C-alpha cells in the first residue's frame, strides 16, 4: 500500500474527531506564534528600551523611510529608530551622512524635566520628552541617568510582562494541543480496535484456521497502538516542528532580510543531511523489524514447545539458534543506533555553523549600521529554535516508520474479507421440532479434494444420531456444515424443513449448539461461563449443574459459581470442564445439540458421570454425537458410519455389530477381547 493512501485511510478514521483536531490546530498556531514571538520581544526590549538608539534625517528626505516606520518630527528633523537604518540604501546612507543630511549619532528621548540642570544638551523636544545624545547620558552618574531613563524602565517592564504572557500562553497552548491530539488518537485507536475485532469475528473458519492467534492479537493491540503513536507522537510533533521551522524562517526575514539570506544558505546542508538520514534510517529500521519478528517467532514457538525441547535434551541447540537470531537483532539495532548517533552530532555541528554565520555576517552588518544588537540576539535564539525541531524529527522517524508499518498490517487485515454470507433472514418456526435433513450434500476444502460426497440422512426430532468413523472421514466437517461455519458446495441441509441458507445465522446457531471435544472456558467466573451473557438466575444454573452432576464439585470450590476460571481452565479437571459445558447447554436449552467428540478427553473413572450427563442433555432434543468411545453411543437411535466422506453403514449398535463391517471393526479395536460374533 502506498504511504499516501495509508495516510488517507488513517485520516478517515480521524474525521469523526475533526473538532478535536481543529481545536488542537488552533492551539498549535498559538503555541508556535508564542514560541517565535519570544525572541522578537527580547529583540524589541533590547533595541527599543535597553539600547533605545534613534538617528535622524532631514524631513526633506523623509520619503526614503519605509512605510509604517516609527518616527518623531522635531525642528526640521525626522527621528527614527536605529534598527530601521538598514531600510535605507547603502549609497543613500553614505552620501547623506557625508553631507550631514543623515545624522547617525545615537539619540535618546528622555524626561524633559530631568534634563534641566543635568548639563545635558537638548537637540529638540517631543511632548514631555527631550532629545539628547546617548553618549551624553551614559557619561552621567547612575542616579541622574536613572531619572532621565524613567520612561524606558517603565516600558521595559511592559516587555517583561508581555514575555511572561507569551511563555504562559505557549505553555497552556502546548499542553492543550498535546492533550487534544492524544484524546483524538485514543478515540481513533478505540474505533480501530472495535472494527478490527468485529471484522475478525465475522471471518469464516477457512480464514481464521490459517491465522496464528498471536498475529491477530498483535494486529488488534500492538499495531493499533502504533497508530495511536502516529497521532500523539509523530503527527502532532511533526506538524508543530514544521510549523515552528517555517515560522522561524519567516521571522528571520521579517527582522532583517539581508542577514536572513546568509543564514538560510547555511541551512541547505541540513536539508541534504536529513534526506540522506531518512533513506539510511528507513533501511536500518526495516532490518530491525525483520530481526525482531524472527526473535519473537522463535520465542513463541520454542516456549510453547519447551516440553519437547527438554524431553529430547535440545536446550543447547535451542540456545545456540536463539543466540544467532539474537546476535542478528543486536547487529540491526547497532546499525540503527549508528545512523542516529551520526545524524545528531552532524545536526549540532551544522547548528554551530549557522550561529557562526550569524556572528560573522551580523558583526559586519552591525559595523555598517545595517543591523541592531537586538536583531543579532533574536537571530541566535531563533536559529536554536529552528534546529531543535530538526533533531526531534530525526528521533520521531523510527516511530513514524513503525506506525506506518503497523497501519499497513491493520489495513491488510481489514481488507481481507472471507466471510460466510448472510443469505437469509428467516427463523426456525416456533416451537422448533429439531428435524435435521441432509440431502445429497457435497463439500471440499480444496477443489478436486472432496471431504463430503453426496451425503444424505435424516435425524428425527428428539432422537440421538451418532456419527463414527476413522480420523479424516468428515465427521467434524459435517457438523460445521450444519452450523454454517462452512457452506456446502452442493445439496441442501434443512432444519424443520427450512433450508439453512434461508435462515439468519443467529437463528440457526441459536437452534443448533455444540459441545466440542476441546472445551473452551473463558477466564471469567463459572457462572459467566455457563450463562454466556444471558440473564440467567442462579437457581436455574444450579439446577443444570445438579442435572449433569457437577454441582458438588463447584460447591467445593472456594467461591462456588463465582470462582474465576484460570486461563485454559487450568484450575479445573478435564472432566469438570466438560461437565460445565453440558450445564451450559442445559441452561440455553437448544432444540438441536451436537456433541463433537465430547467424550474423547474423559477418563474411564468419570465415564459414568459423562454418560449420565449425555443422557440428561440429550433428553427431549435432537442430538448428533460424534464419538470415538463407542461405548457411550450404544444406545443411539441410529449410528452413521462415515468413510472418505460417505455413509458406508447406518443402523443401531446391535445391527451394525451383526453386519460385521467397518463399525464392528472399530468396536473390536476398542474391546479387543470381544468375540467376533458378539452383539
pLDDT digits (tens, 9 = 90+) for 431-487: 888 899 999 999 998 888 889 999 999 999 989 999 998 888 888 889 889 988 888
Q: What pLDDT shows up at residue 678?
A: 42
Contact between 572 and 565 (Cβ < 8 Å)? yes
Distance CA 459, CA 436 (A): 5
Q: What is the pLDDT of residue 514?
A: 81
Residue 603 confidence (pLDDT)? 56
For residues 253-275, average pLDDT: 80
Question: Grid coordinates in use for 460?
Answer: 428425527
Of the two residues 527 and 148, the one the predictor is more confident about is 527
- In terms of average pLDDT, the best of 112-126, 193-207, 353-367, 487-501 is 487-501
Confidence of residue 176 (pLDDT cuts 50, 70, 90): very high
Mean pLDDT of 637-666: 90
Q: Quick one: pLDDT band at residue 169, thresholds 50, 70, 90?
A: very high
Q: Tell me: do 453 and 366 sit in the same domain.
A: no
Do 656 and 512 reside in the same domain of the chain?
A: yes
Examine the fold and report which residue of 138, 155, 172 is the final residue of a domain before the chain moves on. 155
Q: Alpha carbon of 168 to those of 20, 31, 161, 162, 514: distances in Å?
A: 22, 10, 11, 10, 64
**Residue 23: inside a domain:** no
Pair 134, 278 in one domain: no
Q: Is the dihedral of CA 125, 129, 135, 137 positive or negative?
A: positive
Task: Look at the chain and count its residues.
Answer: 679
pLDDT at residue 48, as a whole number: 80
Q: Is 133 inside a domain boundary?
A: yes
Edge to edge, the sheet with strand 622-626 lists 512-515, 592-596, 622-626, 464-469, 638-643, 646-651
Residue 200, C-alpha cell as written in the block: 475478525
Q: Is the pLDDT assigned to residue 161 strictly greater than 70?
A: yes
Neighbours of 117 (CB within 10 A): 8
Report if residue 391 sits inside a domain. Answer: no
pLDDT at 624 over 70: yes
In this predicted structure, which of 38-52, 108-122, 258-272, 665-679 has the lowest mean pLDDT?
665-679
Residue 164's pLDDT band (cuts 50, 70, 90): very high
Candidate from 80-94, 542-556, 637-651 with smallest mean pLDDT:
80-94
Q: What is the mean pLDDT of residues 47-54?
A: 82
User: Is pLDDT of 79 > 80?
Assistant: yes
Bridge-based pairing state of the strands 622-626 and 592-596? parallel
CATH number at residue 638: 3.40.50.300
The pLDDT value given to residue 178? 85
Same domain, 450 and 365: no
Residues 455 and 599 in one domain: yes
Please check whether residues 456 and 365 belong to one and the same domain. no
| DSSP category for residue 614 | H
pLDDT at 506: 84
Residues 602 and 461 in one domain: yes
Least confident of 228-237, 621-630, 634-643: 228-237
What is the residue range of 631's domain?
Answer: 441-670
Whole-number Å distance between alpha carbons of 441 and 477: 11
Residue 284 lies in a domain: yes
pLDDT band at 677 (very low <50, low <70, confident <90, very high): very low
Same domain, 544 and 660: yes
Q: What is the pLDDT of residue 675?
A: 45
DSSP assignment of 490-558 = EEEEEETTEEGGGB-HHHHHHHEEEE-SS----SSBHHHHHHTTS---HHHHHHHHHHTT-HHHHHTST
- What average pLDDT does the segment 329-354 reach? 81
CA distance 136 to 119: 9
Percent of the chain with pLDDT over 70: 91
Q: Write down the pLDDT at residue 255.
A: 83
Q: Does some domain include residue 445? A: yes
Average pLDDT over residues 192-204: 81
Please work out, in degrees rounded to the nearest 5, the angle formed at the alpha carbon of residue 332 by the alpha carbons of 403 and 389: 50
Strand partners for 458: 437
* 661 shares its domain with 516: yes
Which pLDDT does position 676 carry in this prediction?
A: 47
Least confident of 52-56, 476-480, 551-555, 627-631: 627-631
Region 574-602 average pLDDT: 78
Q: How would you label 432-465 residue by residue, b for 16+ Cβ within 10 Å and e otherwise? A: bbbbbbbbebbbbeeeeebbbbebebebeebbbb
Give the end of a domain, one of 311, 335, 370.
370
CA gap 502, 347 in Å, rounded = 68
Give the number of domains in the chain. 3
- pLDDT of 674 strictly over 60: no
Q: Is pLDDT at 5 greater than 80 in this prediction?
A: no
Q: Is the separation of the CB atoms in 639 and 653 below 8 Å?
A: yes
Residue with the larger pLDDT of the pair 50 and 172: 172
The whole-number pLDDT of residue 673 equals: 45
Residue 110 placed within a domain: yes
Residue 476 lies in a domain: yes
Specify the higher pLDDT residue, 165 or 367: 165
- pLDDT surpassing 50 at residue 679: no
Q: Give the pLDDT mean for 97-122.
A: 86
- End position of a domain, from candidates 353, 370, 387: 370
The counts of H helices and E strands in the chain are: 24, 16
The pLDDT value recorded for residue 491 is 93
Do 570 and 489 fall into the same domain? Answer: yes
Residue 309 lies in a domain: yes
Q: Is the domain of 322 the same as that of 451?
A: no
For 203-234, the pLDDT digits (tens) are 776 677 666 666 677 777 777 777 777 777 77
Whole-number average pLDDT of the chain: 82
* Least confident piece of the model among 26-30, 274-278, 572-576: 274-278
Shared domain check, 579 and 457? yes
Amino acid at each position: 500500500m502506498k504511504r499516501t493512501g495509508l495516510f488517507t485511510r488513517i485520516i478517515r478514521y480521524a474525521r469523526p474527531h475533526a473538532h478535536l483536531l481543529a481545536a488542537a490546530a488552533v492551539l498549535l498556531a498559538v503555541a508556535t506564534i508564542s514560541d517565535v514571538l519570544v525572541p522578537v520581544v527580547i529583540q524589541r526590549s533590547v533595541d527599543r528600551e535597553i539600547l533605545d538608539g534613534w538617528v535622524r534625517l532631514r524631513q526633506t528626505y523623509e520619503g526614503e523611510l519605509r512605510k509604517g516606520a516609527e518616527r518623531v518630527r522635531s525642528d526640521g528633523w525626522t527621528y527614527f529608530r536605529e534598527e530601521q537604518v538598514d531600510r535605507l540604501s547603502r549609497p543613500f546612507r553614505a552620501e547623506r551622512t557625508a553631507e550631514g543630511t543623515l545624522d547617525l549619532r545615537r539619540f535618546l528621548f528622555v524626561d524633559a524635566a530631568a534634563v534641566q540642570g543635568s548639563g545635558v544638551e537638548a537637540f529638540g523636544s517631543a511632548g514631555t520628552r527631550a532629545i539628547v545624545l546617548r553618549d551624553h547620558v551614559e557619561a552621567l552618574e547612575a542616579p541622574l541617568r536613572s531619572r532621565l531613563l524613567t520612561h524606558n524602565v517603565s516600558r521595559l517592564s511592559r516587555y517583561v510582562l508581555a514575555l511572561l504572557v507569551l511563555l504562559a500562553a505557549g505553555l497552556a497552548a502546548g499542553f492543550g494541543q498535546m492533550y487534544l491530539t492524544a484524546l483524538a488518537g485514543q478515540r481513533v485507536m478505540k474505533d480501530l480496535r472495535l472494527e478490527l475485532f468485529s471484522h475478525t469475528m465475522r471471518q469464516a473458519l477457512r480464514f481464521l484456521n490459517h491465522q496464528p492467534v498471536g498475529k491477530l492479537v498483535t494486529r488488534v493491540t500492538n499495531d493499533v497502538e502504533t497508530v495511536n503513536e502516529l497521532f500523539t507522537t509523530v503527527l502532532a510533533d511533526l506538524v508543530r516542528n514544521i510549523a515552528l521551522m517555517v515560522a522561524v524562517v519567516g521571522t528571520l526575514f521579517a527582522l532583517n532580510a539581508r542577514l536572513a539570506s546568509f543564514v538560510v544558505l547555511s541551512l541547505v546542508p541540513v536539508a541534504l543531511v536529513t534526506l540522506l538520514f531518512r533513506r539510511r534510517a528507513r533501511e536500518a529500521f526495516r532490518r530491525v523489524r525483520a530481526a525482531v519478528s524472527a526473535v519473537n517467532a522463535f520465542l513463541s514457538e520454542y516456549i510453547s514447545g519447551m516440553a519437547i525441547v527438554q524431553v529430547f535434551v535440545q536446550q543447547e541447540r535451542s540456545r545456540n539458534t536463539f543466540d544467532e537470531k539474537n546476535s542478528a537483532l543486536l547487529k540491526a539495532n547497532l546499525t540503527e543506533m549508528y545512523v542516529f548517533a551520526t545524524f545528531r552530532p552532524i545536526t549540532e555541528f551544522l547548528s554551530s555553523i549557522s550561529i557562526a554565520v550569524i556572528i560573522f555576517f551580523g558583526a559586519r552588518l552591525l559595523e555598517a549600521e545595517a543591523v541592531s544588537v537586538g536583531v543579532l540576539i533574536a537571530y541566535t535564539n531563533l536559529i536554536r529554535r529552528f534546529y531543535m525541531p530538526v533533531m526531534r524529527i530525526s528521533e520521531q522517524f523510527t516511530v513514524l516508520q513503525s506506525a506506518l508499518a503497523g497501519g499497513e498490517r491493520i489495513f491488510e487485515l481489514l481488507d481481507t474479507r472471507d466471510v460466510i454470507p448472510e443469505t437469509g433472514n428467516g427463523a426456525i418456526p416456533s416451537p422448533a421440532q429439531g428435524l435435521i435433513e441432509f440431502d445429497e450434500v457435497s463439500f471440499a476444502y480444496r477443489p478436486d479434494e472432496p471431504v463430503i460426497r453426496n451425503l444424505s440422512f435424516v435425524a428425527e426430532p428428539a432422537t440421538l444420531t451418532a456419527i463414527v468413523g476413522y480420523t479424516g472421514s468428515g465427521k467434524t466437517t459435517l457438523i460445521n456444515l450444519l452450523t454454517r461455519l462452512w457452506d456446502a458446495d452442493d445439496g441442501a441441509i434443512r432444519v424443520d424443513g427450512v433450508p439453512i441458507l434461508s435462515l439468519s445465522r443467529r437463528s440457526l446457531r441459536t437452534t443448533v449448539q455444540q459441545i466440542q471435544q476441546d472445551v473452551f472456558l473463558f477466564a471469567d467466573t463459572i457462572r459467566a461461563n455457563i450463562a454466556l451473557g444471558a440473564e440467567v438466575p442462579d437457581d436455574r444454573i444450579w439446577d443444570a449443574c445438579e442435572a449433569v452432576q457437577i454441582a458438588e464439585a463447584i460447591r467445593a470450590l472456594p467461591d462456588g459459581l463465582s470462582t474465576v476460571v484460570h486461563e485454559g481452565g487450568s484450575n479445573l479437571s478435564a472432566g469438570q470442564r466438560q461437565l460445565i459445558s453440558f450445564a451450559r447447554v442445559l441452561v440455553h436449552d437448544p432444540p438441536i445439540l451436537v456433541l463433537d467428540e465430547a467424550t474423547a478427553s474423559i477418563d474411564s473413572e468419570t465415564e459414568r458421570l459423562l454418560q449420565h450427563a449425555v443422557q440428561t442433555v440429550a433428553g427431549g432434543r435432537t442430538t448428533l454425537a460424534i464419538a470415538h468411545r463407542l461405548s457411550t453411543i450404544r444406545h443411539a437411535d441410529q449410528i452413521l458410519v462415515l468413510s472418505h466422506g460417505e455413509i458406508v453403514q447406518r443402523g443401531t449398535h446391535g445391527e451394525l455389530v451383526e453386519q460385521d463391517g467397518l463399525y464392528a471393526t472399530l468396536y473390536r479395536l476398542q474391546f479387543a477381547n470381544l468375540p467376533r460374533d458378539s452383539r
